[in-house]
Amino acid sequence: MSLTALVREVTEETGRNFAVAPQQCDLALYANSFGIPVFAQHADNVKQGSTTGRVTPEAIKAIGCAGTLINHSEYRISAADVEALVSRCKELGLITIVCTKDAEESRAYAKFNPDFIAVEPPELIGGDISVTTANPQIVSDSVKLVKEVAPEVKVLCGAGVKNGRDVAKAIELGADGVLLASGVVKAKDRKAVLLDLVSGM
């Protein structure tokens, strides 16, 4: 069973909200097939036309995606491009999740009014220790600073998040949810991990 199908199964069983962000070449395959929100992992701030190798927000919208990640730590872009992409996505009705490395960057990007800010210290991504354990203050500070700038922007946290305890701690610190990949993708029993994550909500 594909991970997307498994996420849908857990969504139906628990009533909790999940979204998936498959690799770019799989977006069209999953965007309209499973009844759960599908996000692109990245969008490029380029106009439609001569953009070989790039993915425009318009293309992401056209294939049925709900939104896109912007500025993930593995594909960081300039602040100007972040601002422009958030604006373009809003016009298209796409949900934006802007990734940040720390509380100060979270505050800086909150002024662009994305739907979500996802704070993920790069040094903890893919690791065995959750940001909620290694640096809980970066989560609580991000929530505080984002809400000061744009109260309507929701805050997610990620990096090392792997279980229900991590999720519970994230919520306790003020986050609205979590953003994660390796904790589920690398798990031997993915469904068990997804159910454990939900237990922390």
Neighbours of 53 (CB within 10 A): 6
Q: Given this model, what pLDDT does residue 39 score? A: 97
Task: Report d(CA 167, CA 23) in Å as an integer.
Answer: 24
Q: Residue 39 phi/psi, 5° resolution?
A: -115, 145
Q: Which residues contact 60 (CB under 8 A, 6 or more apart)?
A: 27, 40, 43, 67, 68, 94
Q: What is the pLDDT of residue 127?
A: 83
List residues with catalytic annotation: 72, 120
User: Phi, psi (5° rounding) for residue 87?
Assistant: -65, -45
pLDDT at 116: 98
How far is 17 from 14, CA to CA, in rounded Å? 9
> Do residues 162 and 129 make contact, with C-beta atoms less than 8 angstroms apart?
no
Which CATH superfamily is 3-199 part of?
A: Aldolase class I (3.20.20.70)
Amino acid making up residue 155: V
* pLDDT for 1: 66
CB 60 within 8 A of CB 21: no
And the tokens for 175? 């986050």
**Confidence at residue 124, expressed as pLDDT on a 0 to 100 scale:** 87
Task: Return the SS3 of 164.
Answer: helix
Q: For position 34, what pLDDT does the model report?
A: 84
Q: Could you state, in order of their start, the residue ranges of all structural domains in the chain? A: 3-199
Q: Which residues contact 87 (CB under 8 A, 6 or more apart)?
A: 112
- C-alpha span between 85 and 68 (Å, rounded): 10
Could you state, in chain order, the average pLDDT of each consecutive group of 10 residues for the chain (201 residues)?
A: 87 93 92 90 93 93 97 95 98 98 98 98 87 94 98 95 93 96 89 92 84
Can you give the pLDDT at residue 131?
93
Task: Give me the numbers of helices (H) and strands (E) for the chain, helices first please.
Answer: 10, 6
Tokens of 23: 């690799």
Residue with tokens 């990007």: 109
